[in-house]
Amino acid sequence: MGSLGSFGRTMGRPLVAGLLVAAGLTGAVTAVHMAVSRADEAPGAARGRAAAADVGFLRMTRDAAGEPEALETSVIHYREKRPDQSARRPLEVDLVGAVHVGSRSYYATLDHLFRDYDAVLYELVAPDNARVPKPGRKPAGAIGSAQQGLTSVLGLEFQLEQIDYAAPNFVHADLSPKEFDAAMAKRGESWWTMFSKLMREGMKRAERDTGRGSDIGLGDMFGMLFGSGPDRAVRLRRMMAEQFTDMEVLTSAFGGEEGSTLITDRNAAALDVLREQIGKGRRRIAIFYGAAHMDDFDRRLKADFGLEPVETDWIEAWDLRKPSAR
């Protein structure tokens, strides 16, 4: 029993990470099968603001007692270090990090924010001429059904059912399925090898964190997934938020010098579209991608585009407060 319990605690972290990948990173690949709709009401402003030195992509906030309050994503504003004097406006590029499942108000806030940009570059592994899914359609396939089920147990919404991808300023900035498959083949990658890398990094992280009190047992995880009660969704969101903010697992697995198709090659495709939009005279541009892509984008915007971060806004994506504390 002792060894089995130890195994369960060690496996908890990478298994949760695997669930997050199924819900998040692969969402961009299967997104063409999903539905989208627009929020009717204009939401409030982004929550919180930080200095440029505090660049970050995901964070979990806590109250004075140390209890989790929210999972938040950032909007980091970049401007030219040396503005083009011939241009009417300095170039501004915002990295809008996303989690692919979140609250309805989170996506409403993003939807409202996007109206102010000349162009919003979005991730979606699909042909450039692919039709945007119509509102009201339900996800198809095993992955889509799994994602829908996860949003249900978390009490959240799926990104592609909430954001208006048909907005006139939305610009596809990703690989096509054919390009994605070719890039994976060139790297010798497959979905299995990528999942295996994620599991290995999760195991390494779990071993380093042993004894810190943050290990998750299999019994705890399955109890929250299949249990009941008013606090179940919040407990599960808290558990997953802890893992979500541990970006080192994802960046170690898919970033670094070697890179990956999932992050490196797709980011390169997005930045090619960014160059095209700049060439068309767009001066205020958003890159709307999953938070795991943002560390690589940050480096490239600084090195290749001469941009620097000037301020960061934070938006609440998940409410982690217990119902009794609201």
2 sits in which H/E element: helix 2-23
pLDDT averaged over the chain?
Answer: 75
Given pLDDT bands bounded at 50, 70 and 90, which one contains residue 43?
A: very low
Sign of the alpha-carbon dihedral angle for 256, 262, 263, 267: positive
Residue 229 Ramachandran class (φ > 0 left, ψ -120 to 50 alpha, else beta)? left
Torsion from C-alpha of 135, 140, 144, 148, nearest 10 degrees: 60
Distance of CA 314 to the CA centre of its chain: 14
With 60 as the cut, is the pLDDT of residue 7 above it?
A: no
Residues 161-187 have pLDDT tens digits of 889 999 999 999 999 999 999 998 999
User: How confident is the model at residue 89, as a pLDDT?
Assistant: 82
Q: Which residue is it, tokens 């019994």?
A: 219
**CB contact set of 75 (below 8 Å; sequence gap of 6+):** 46, 94, 95, 96, 97, 113, 312, 313, 314, 315
Which pTM does this prediction carry? Answer: 0.77
Give, to the nearest 10 degrees, the angle between helix 218-226 and helix 2-23: 50
pLDDT band at 253 (very low <50, low <70, confident <90, very high): low
The stretch 97-105 carries a mean pLDDT of 92
What percent of the chain is predicted at pLDDT more than 70? Answer: 61
Q: What's the distance, Cα to Cα, between the start and end of the chain in Å?
A: 39
* pLDDT score of 228 more than 60: no
- DSSP collapsed to 3 states, 179-244: HHHHHHHHHCCCHHHHHHHHHHHHHHHHHHCCCCCCCCCHHHHHHHHHCCCCCHHHHHHHHHHHHH
Q: Give 179's contacts (C-beta < 8 A, 6+ positions apart).
A: 269
Task: DSSP for 68-130, please give it.
Answer: EEEEEEEEEEEEESS--TTSSS--EEEEEEE-SEE-HHHHHHHHHHHTT-SEEEE---S-TTP
User: How large a percentage of the chain has pLDDT more than 90?
Assistant: 40
Q: How much is the pLDDT for 254?
A: 67
**What is the DSSP track for 42-68?**
---PPEEEEEGGG--SEEEEE-TTS-E
Report the residue count for the chain.
Answer: 326
Please answer whether residues 174 and 117 qualify as being in contact, where contact means their C-beta atoms are separated by less than 8 angstroms: no
Give the model's pLDDT for residue 211: 53
3-state class (DSSP) for residue 288: strand
- Please report the pLDDT score of residue 194 as a whole number: 75
Tell me the pairing of strands 307-319 and 92-98: unpaired
What's the token pair of residue 279? 């060439």
Average pLDDT over residues 181-209: 77
Please give the average per-residue pLDDT across 219-240, as a whole number: 67
Residue in this structure with the two tokens 């980091």, named with its chain if needed: 76
Find all residues with CB under 8 Å of 303, minimum gap 6, and list them: none
In this structure, of 47-51, 201-205, 230-234, the range with the lowest mean pLDDT score is 47-51
Residues with Cβ within 8 Å of 193's Cβ and at least 6 positions away in sequence, in order, are none
